[in-house]
Amino acid sequence: MYQEYELIEKIARLFGTPEGLTLGIGDDCAILDPGRFDLVTTDTMVEGVHFDRTFSSPQDIGWRAIATSVSDIAAMGGGPGAFFLNLALGPNDDELFVDGLLEGIHEACEKLSPPNFEIAAGGGDLTSTHGPTVITVTVLGEASPAGPVTRSGALPGDRIVVLGPLGSAVAGLAILQGAFDVDPADYPTLVRAHRRPQPKIHAGALLGLYGVPSALIDVSDGLIGDLGHILRRSGVGASIEIHNIPCHEELSKLASEVGLDTLDYVLEGGDDYELVVVAPPSRMTKVWDLARRHDWDVYDIGEIRSASEGLRVLAADGQPLEREYSGYRHFA
């Protein structure tokens, strides 16, 4: 296994000094360029809870660590910059694992950086553990000149759209875990949604730049849970129309083959990192305009209502569904 200083040097070589930093890896602190970053997010992934080497390669795990954190910057309408990597490496983490992890991290930085932004390593901490591997990624970002987009600006009358299908990642993981008697190779999109989530980093930055959303969030806990965050923070309610919530055709195929209810997946399945955009109709036209130009999918799934209406999920006939939603995945 690498010595600590070797691994630090390897990471420093791989990324260079990120833009926006006066000083990166190698001192007591990283030094930020004055006024450059105004967003901070941090996420921890634990082996056996958030990832499983049976189902994900080291490269996949590295990719996912960056993707999930950078997604939070997109969910503020900002652009990502330096990241900090804290690795607690276990007894089975050999050089092959660490090399693969860094490869996946590097690939995610390259492929997920939107135009005019660069994701690169600014520092971190390397430690050992006797237990499962733990990866913490902290990302700094830049809010748009139009200001960061929070969860608390939704107003009654705003429309709610989502930029891609929901439920894919959780279905993909269930397939890998053998929850259904199907061949993972027949569901490449679902499996990939778990292994290589594709947060809408560019879309988040562009929506922030044009000051479009009144509220914005990425779906990490599931639509009900995450929309719930917006409703609570904004002090509003919402109605969403289930027949308009997009699910991937592979999820429909899986549903018909194994007899599951896609609703469970699209409403409560997290880890897709799709963006939920809330905006008044007057500004929502800009979303459709950007979508045409950048080839995004946009699905109009409902409307913000007054707080007294709560969160209502409407069937195709306009009647509210009677069901309980768990919303949170506690401590996962």
Which one among 14, 46, 242, 263 touches a copy of itself, defined by CB under 8 A? 46
**Cβ-count burial of 280 within 10 angstroms (0-12 exposed, 13-18 middle, 19+ buried)?**
middle
Which one among 13, 243, 293, 330 touches a copy of itself, defined by CB under 8 A? 330
Least CB distance from residue 70 to a copy of itself, whole Å? Answer: 11
Closer residue to a copy of itself in complex, CB, 40/258: 40
Binding pattern to a copy of itself, positions 260-279, x when CB under 8 A?
--------------------
Strand partners, 124: 85
Q: Which stretch binds a copy of itself (CB under 8 A): 38-46, 246-254, 262-270, 303-311?
A: 38-46
When asked if residue 110 is in the footprint of a copy of itself (CB under 8 A), the reply is no
- According to CB under 8 A, which residues from 146 to 185 bind a copy of itself? 148, 150-152
Tokens found for residue 99? 């090399």
Which one among 16, 38, 186, 256 touches a copy of itself, defined by CB under 8 A? 38
Residue 27's CB is within 10 A of a number of other CB atoms, namely: 9
- According to CB under 8 A, which residues from 226 to 245 bind a copy of itself? 233
Which one among 11, 65, 75, 251 touches a copy of itself, defined by CB under 8 A? 75
Closer residue to a copy of itself in complex, CB, 141/164: 141
Amino acid letter, 78:
G
Least CB distance from residue 6 to a copy of itself, whole Å? Answer: 10
Closer residue to a copy of itself in complex, CB, 142/250: 142
When asked if residue 114 is in the footprint of a copy of itself (CB under 8 A), the reply is no
Least CB distance from residue 142 to a copy of itself, whole Å? Answer: 10
Q: Which stretch binds a copy of itself (CB under 8 A): 22-30, 95-103, 237-245, 289-297?
A: 22-30
- Cβ atoms of 208 and 144 within 8 Å: the answer is yes
Strands 159-162 and 299-305, by their bridges, are antiparallel
Kindly list the strands in the beta sheet with 159-162, ordered across the sheet, starting from the edge strand earlier in the chain. 215-218, 275-279, 159-162, 299-305, 237-241, 311-314
Least CB distance from residue 180 to a copy of itself, whole Å? Answer: 25
Reported for 300-303, long-range contacts at CB under 8 A and 24+ positions apart, including other chains, are 300/159, 300/160, 300/161, 300/244, 301/160, 301/161, 301/162, 301/240, 301/241, 301/244, 301/245, 302/159, 302/160, 302/238, 302/239, 302/240, 302/241, 302/244, 303/157, 303/158, 303/159, 303/160, 303/238, 303/239
The DSSP 8-state label assigned to residue 20 in this structure reads T
User: What is the C-alpha separation between 132 and 165, in angstroms, rounded?
Assistant: 32
Closer residue to a copy of itself in complex, CB, 30/255: 30
Least CB distance from residue 218 to a copy of itself, whole Å? Answer: 7
Least CB distance from residue 253 to a copy of itself, whole Å? Answer: 32
CA 305 to chain centre: 26
| 3 state SS of 52 | coil
Which one among 25, 65, 76, 170 touches a copy of itself, defined by CB under 8 A? 76
When asked if residue 31 is in the footprint of a copy of itself (CB under 8 A), the reply is yes
Q: Which residues are at the interface with a copy of itself (CB under 8 A)?
A: 3-5, 22-23, 26-35, 37-46, 48-50, 72-73, 75-76, 78, 82, 84, 86-89, 122-132, 134, 136, 138, 140-141, 143, 148, 150-152, 216-218, 233, 328, 330-332
